[in-house]
Amino acid sequence: MPPSPTTNAPKTLADVKELLKDDTMVKVAGLDVDGILRGKVMSKDKFLSAVKSDFGFCGVVYGWDMHDLTYPRELLVSNKANGYRDIIGEVDLTTFRRIPWENNIPFFLLFFRDQESDEHLQVDPRSILDNLATKANGMGWDCMSGAEFEYFQYAETPQSLEEKHFVGLTPLTPGAHGYSLLRTSLNKDYFYDLYNVSTAMDVEIEGHHTETGPGVYETALAYTDTLRMADNAVLYKLIAKSIGMKHNIMPTFMAKPWQNESGCSGHIHVSLRDRNGKNVFAVTDAELKAGGRKDAPFPDLRFISQEAEWFLAGVLTGLRDVIPMMCPNINSYKRLLGGEQYWAPDTASYGYDSRAASIRIICPPGVGSYASRFEVRIPGADMNTHFAMAAIFGLGLRGIEQKTKLPYGPIGSPGVNRDTIVHLPTSLEKATEAFMAKDSVARKVFGDLFVDHFGGTREHELELNRRAVTDWEMRRYFELA
């Protein structure tokens, strides 16, 4: 089920030809498992041929890591044994955009397919989320999402980062100034470029402001269907980094770039919508007038529907087993180690309008019933948004199918504390172990091929980290007698 189309998205080959009549080349890109856009420029003739019958794309993008280091242990999709053979690139016409900072070159996103089965690749982030959106649609619903990113900016260039070895970087502005009107004035051309370019690329922004911490911004992307939202999220990161370079500013979406500062969150908002456009998570009008759902097991849940309660229970009971899909990197867990002190919960907790909980219930009386939703606060800004949203909807839809009961009450309820609720892994090593376990919920929801391949890439990341000699180690042990 493709994402909702962009403003001028073509529907037919004839539409594409008309759209590109004054162009000579087109840029295309798909996603790897780290959420990095991998693409190229094609001649217009080659692109039109690809629209008619797809095209081959080098499969090595699923055989190497984020720095193009080939996985030393052979993984399942792309490896030495199969010659890193091509996968099939399928142009998604609904994603048409033009890139303003590259002379308005036309741009399309891809789905990847396996050349033997001709089915969507089981480790392609866009395909995985698309499959879940299609499943929900078959149940009569649309998956809806929002995403918000916190990210640090540095007054640096790619060259100065290398010269400083990524240490002692200069923040764009000093001090902590959340929601400051003054601090954005210091770099207003960059700040407003981010907003205006995003709007021009159909990456709609709902809110854009400074966040607490030196040089930190927060940008909330406008709520939409989940595949469109995940696409918008990855494109916003591209926009921020590209516009930043124009202004000699380097943003980072690392989860925890500074040890003694808050980390960078990547909160995800989710709900379901029915065929009539009604929010499935909302209570009925009669229940709203009556003060909430009478059969709700806890007061925090009285203004969300039974389906929403099952969805929440599905997420809570499977959360521990899918954490690498939300927190994929070594650094991701440095943010979680702050726990509730930094509003980065490390437990499978929930509560009404609670920023101390892992899952914040947003519903009446805080918002109108139409806006009822869950905010999943575990991921950092470094997440692969397609995987993170797939994890949430995969678990949530499973919860509805199985009518899963909540394992315990909301945060602050009698008997609910850190000693009585599920703790989440706080290292990539422990998270990967839970993800790849034989009885993992991840295997039941996403299948063995995905779990073994993506889990293998995380084990590769862990091995690189084990071998690394860090600045901390040098400072700590260099003068050891």
Quote the pLDDT of residue 203: 98
Residue 330 has pLDDT above 70, yes or no: yes
pLDDT one-digit tens code per residue, 199-256: 999 999 999 999 988 999 999 999 999 999 999 999 999 999 999 999 999 999 999 9
Q: Where are the beta strands (DSSP E) in 65-129?
A: 86-99, 105-113
pLDDT one-digit tens code per residue, 82-133: 888 999 999 999 999 999 999 999 999 999 999 999 999 999 999 999 999 9
Handedness of CA 409, 415, 417, 419 (dihedral sign): negative
Strand order in the sheet with 37-43: 37-43, 25-31, 105-113, 86-99, 55-58
The C-alpha atoms of residue 95 and residue 232 are separated, in whole angstroms, by 10
> Which residues are paired to 141 by β-bridges?
274
144, exposed or middle or buried, with CB in 10 Å at 0-12, 13-18, 19+? buried
To the nearest 5 percent, what fractions of the chain are helix, strand and coil? 40, 20, 40
Residues 264/253, Cβ–Cβ less than 8 Å: yes
Residue 341 has pLDDT above 60, yes or no: no
The C-alpha atoms of residue 14 and residue 355 are separated, in whole angstroms, by 50
CA neighbours closer than 13 Å in the CB half-sphere of residue 26: 26
Enter the pTM of the model.
Answer: 0.96
Ordered structural domains, the chain, with CATH: 13-121 (3.10.20.70), 141-446 (3.30.590.10)
State the DSSP string of 28-81: EEEE-TTS-EEEEEEEHHHHHHHHHH-EEEEGGGGTB-TT-PBPSS--SSS-TT
Least confident of 126-140, 178-192, 336-350: 336-350
Q: Are strands 350-352 and 359-362 parallel, antiparallel or unpaired?
A: parallel
Amino acid in position 259: Q
Q: Average pLDDT of 372-383?
A: 97
Q: Average pLDDT of 265-289?
A: 97
pLDDT one-digit tens code per residue, 41-79: 999 999 999 999 999 999 999 999 999 999 988 888 888
C-alpha separations of 298 from 54, 288, 293, 350, 387 in Å: 52, 16, 10, 12, 31
Residue 38 has pLDDT above 90, yes or no: yes
Confidence of residue 178 (pLDDT cuts 50, 70, 90): confident
